[in-house]
Amino acid sequence: AALGNSAGELAMESPYKVSTKPHGHGDVHFLLHANGIADRWLAEGRRWVYFLQDSSTLYFSTFLCSLGVSAKHSLEVNSVAMPRRAKEAVGAIAQLQHTDGRSIVVNVEYNQFEPLLLATGHAEGDVDGPDGFSPYPGNTNGLIFSLREYVAQLRRTGGHIAEFVNPKYSDATRVSFKAPTRLECMMQDYP
């Protein structure tokens, strides 16, 4: 079901029909786990799984070299990235560091990236470097997983990916939505 406003009321297509939206491409992890597909691939001796979003055919020109880099460096996860301009509406690949020293390289969605930079002491936010591009590459949603570690993570999590709501507000009051919103998940939010 889709949400119609900040109060969490259901969006209606008509008086008797609830508006629906898909949950998101993060469901692929749950589906591969719940149906035993990832386990079967591992049992068959497969070593890698490559996810891509079907909105681009450019993956086919990079997937072999990306797989080679993943194998050469024994990467558990490899995110295929591209140059991106500062403030471009594309997720950014960034290394996030916790105050206790732990760090992780993840995709940060474009609408959250600038506020994150500003909140963590980057006074100028996301700015292009001398080459005309942001120092933070863009996420292409081309993901390569080492199958052994991927299956182990699916077993730990049941294939569940963190969910979120990302409403697009119609005005500064942040009450009304431009369009109904949904609870969703993204495949790149692994682990």
Backbone angles phi, psi at 123, to 5 degrees: -55, -35
pLDDT above 70 for 155: yes
- Residue 24, pLDDT score: 87
Q: What is the pLDDT of residue 59?
A: 74
Kindly tell me if the per-residue pLDDT of 1 is higher than 70.
yes
pLDDT for residue 62: 86
Read off the pLDDT of each residue in 33-57 and give the average, rounded to a whole number.
Answer: 92
> What percentage of the chain exceeds 90 in pLDDT?
70
In the predicted model, is pLDDT for residue 136 greater than 70?
yes
pLDDT value, residue 117: 95
Compute and round to an integer the Cα radius of gyration of the chain: 19
pLDDT for residue 57 is more than 90? no
Tell me the per-residue pLDDT of 69-101, one tens digit each, with 9 for 90 and over. 999 999 999 999 999 999 999 999 999 999 999
pLDDT greater than 90 at residue 54 = no
pLDDT greater than 80 at residue 7: yes
Work out the average pLDDT over 133-155.
95
Q: Say yes or no to pLDDT of 19 above 80.
A: yes
pLDDT (mean) for 56-65 = 81
The answer on pLDDT for 191 being more than 70 is: no
